[in-house]
Chains A and B, each alone.
Chain A
Amino acid sequence: MLNSFMSYLGSTVTPGEAGNQFWALIYVLIIFAGVSLAVICMNWLERKALAHFQIRLGPMRVGPHGLLQPIADALKLMLKEDIIPTEADQFVFWVAPLIGLLAAFTVYTVIPFGPSQAVSDMNIGILFMLGVSSLGVLGIVVAGWASNSHYPLIGALRSSAQMVSYEVAMGLVVVSAILMTSLNASGTGTLSMIGIVQAQQQQGVWFIFKFFPLGFIAFAIFAIAMVAETNRAPFDMAEAESELTAGFHTEYSGLRWSLFMLAEYAAMIAVSSIAVTLWLGGWMRPFPNLLHAPAWEFIFSLFPGLTFGGLAAIAVIGTARMPAHSFFKIQRIGLAVFAALLGFIALLLLLIAVAGRSADTSVAARFREGIDYVYWFVLKVAVFMYLFIWYRATWPRYRFDQLMKIGWKVMLPISLGVLVLTAIVGVIFP
């Protein structure tokens, strides 16, 4: 067992490819914990950012600046009474949140956080991701039906119609990005998530800038469709609270409701990862081919540490600005401890960057590389997460007929056009 554990350490492929079950399991656990943590952070950030967009303070009471609010909410949801309506279809009502959650988390097996930092690299990677994430809608549809109530049923119908319509445009622009991967010497493309990023590295350009503006239009279509696909504002017709109370999850409460929320946020991270992988160069740092001197490598490897240092500095400023009243003493101490923790992580990351700066195959160097890959990937995904909040704060909700009109009469023709033009341009200027 120890032998199987150690044998993977020097390898440069994913655990799935190396056939190493132990490391695959460890990666799965790390990703599961990381996604859950990201959902908690996202929950806090969304409430805070939305509040500041609307000139409010947001959660302030539980912990300094409401930092412990998501944990308090999670506890509350777990302790709440779990109600299943008498007239509901018991089994289907019970299984619906699990379908959504399973679909949302299964796709993480192929998300490439780095060239070897993924659970597995499938030959059909992107196809698998699109397929499994489209299963998530089944959870919503079935939940709406099983509730045996009017608002959830209408929410579920809207959701299924919306997802089926936007999936078409989404699939077509994904194909146009995959077409770009085949523009190499052998003329063979790839569906593998890691292969797609490596193709961008080989061609020396992120696909968003390839054949400008074709790549950009494809990316924009995907960025719109993925908001509709995850039922987020301004396309959150399935849970439009002014029309349908809470849409498909009106009858859900407590833990089951929180599973829906977890699935929604996990799906948001998953579709953002697809966008990052296909168009924004995945795990690659900016200009990996242009600025490849060891000095540049070292400067870019300082970024993770500096990011955490910046967060620590913000926490320190927050500690200093805390009101001097004795009521805030505990909060002040708590924020100071949080700042110290962030600072410690920053120091650790800087230390790793310095220790692993040589480009050899020592453990420190490989560890530093891994941290860099994961950092740039997560940073790009985080930008999308912030955009999701920004959209929600900025745009009013679409009407359902407008939504359908945009999906079928605007986005579908444009994405078809982009696909055909990409193929033509790819043949003429390979």
Chain B
Amino acid sequence: MNPALNSAVSTINAGMAPVATPWFFYVLAGLAVVSGVAVITRRNAVHAALALIVTLLSVAGLYLMLYAPFVAGVQIIVYAGGIMVLFLFVIMLVNIERSSKERQFNRMWPVGLAAACALMALFVSAIAKGNKLFPDRGMTPPESSNTQQIAAMLYGEAGRMGQYTFAFEIASLLLLVAILGAVIMTKKKI
């Protein structure tokens, strides 16, 4: 395996419990990729949704490995527990027999391919130039106060504004607009 990754793992291990073993990473990443492929290749919509749940859960596992337990918890509670239940709720009302006979991919695949290639190029360049772009050691908040440190960054502490307070408020405004839009679209008369 990559010696740089190896040394990074050992530096992280020096101060913390050895969670980030490569074995876990390869299992979780493999699971995410395999189930991600299953999401788009399964003809049965419910099977695709179940595969998507596996993908989301293994991504949550990857977050845990990156010492981001809060993000992992939110991933499970919001995506796997909330959104996927709604997905299944809707899919179950669809006639599976008829929908499984329909054409599976539409004609937008060249666009999708281009987008995937662009994303791939971004990742490759980030890995190639990673040493210059990113600091030697990323900030790894200790696992025992991860949530508290995220809160300090988002909301600030002791009278100071947090690092990302503004971005966070903008995002919440966007969500509020989306909620209002959803309500207005479903209600004919308010």
- Chain A residues with CB under 8 Å of chain B are 19, 89, 92, 122-124, 127-128, 130-132, 134-135, 137-138, 141-142, 144-146, 153, 156-157, 160-161, 163-164, 167, 188-191
Contact = CB atoms under 8 A, between A and B. Distances in A.
Contacts of A144: 92
A142 to B, nearest CB: 7
Interface in B24-70: 44, 46-47, 50, 53, 69-70
Contacts, number: 83
Contacts of B72: 124
Nearest to B78: A131
A160 B93 CA distance: 13
Contacts of A164: 82, 85-86, 89
A123 B85 contact: no
Given A92-B50, A137-B85, A164-B86, A145 B77 contact: no
A127 B46 contact: no
Contact of A188 (B17, B70, B146, B148): B148
B53 A138 contact: yes
A326 B92 CA distance: 59
A127 B146 CA distance: 13
Contact of A141 (B69, B74, B85): B85
Given A122-B69, A135-B80, A161-B89, A142 B50 contact: yes
Contacts of B17: 19
B147 to A, nearest CB: 5
A132 B76 CA distance: 7
7 contacts: A123-B147, A124-B69, A137-B85, A138-B53, A160-B86, A164-B89, A167-B81
Interface of B: 17, 44, 46-47, 50, 53, 69-70, 72-74, 76-77, 80-82, 84-86, 88-89, 92-93, 143-148
Contacts of A135: 76, 80-81
B92 A141 contact: yes
Interface centre among B50, B70, B81, B148 (most CB of A within 10 A): B81
Contacts of B93: 157
Contact of B76 (A89, A131, A141, A167): A131
Nearest to B80: A135
Contact of A160 (B69, B70, B73, B85): B85
Contacts of A167: 81-82
A138 B93 CA distance: 16
Contact of B82 (A19, A123, A134, A156): A134
Given A138-B85, A141-B85, A161-B89, A127 B77 contact: yes
A124 B73 contact: yes
The 9 A-B pairs at the shortest CB distance, nearest first, are namely: A134-B81, A131-B77, A131-B76, A127-B73, A124-B73, A124-B69, A160-B89, A19-B17, A141-B88
* Interface SS of chain B: helix
Nearest to B77: A131
Contacts of A123: 69-70, 143-147
A144 B89 CA distance: 11
Nearest to A124: B73
Contact of B92 (A131, A134, A153): A153
Given A19-B17, A124-B69, A124-B72, A163 B146 contact: no
A160 B88 contact: yes
B17 to A, nearest CB: 5
Given A131-B77, A142-B88, A160-B88, 18 more contacts: A89-B44, A123-B147, A124-B73, A130-B81, A131-B73, A132-B81, A135-B80, A138-B53, A138-B80, A138-B85, A141-B88, A141-B92, A144-B92, A157-B89, A157-B93, A160-B85, A161-B89, A190-B148
A7 to B, nearest CB: 15
Contacts of A137: 81, 85
Contacts of A132: 76, 81
Contacts of A130: 77, 81
Contacts of B74: 127
**Of A130, A141, A157, most B-chain CB atoms within 10 Å:** A141
A131 B85 CA distance: 12
B70 A127 contact: yes
Contact of B46 (A92, A163, A191): A92
Contacts of A127: 70, 73-74, 77
A92 B49 CA distance: 12
Nearest to A145: B92
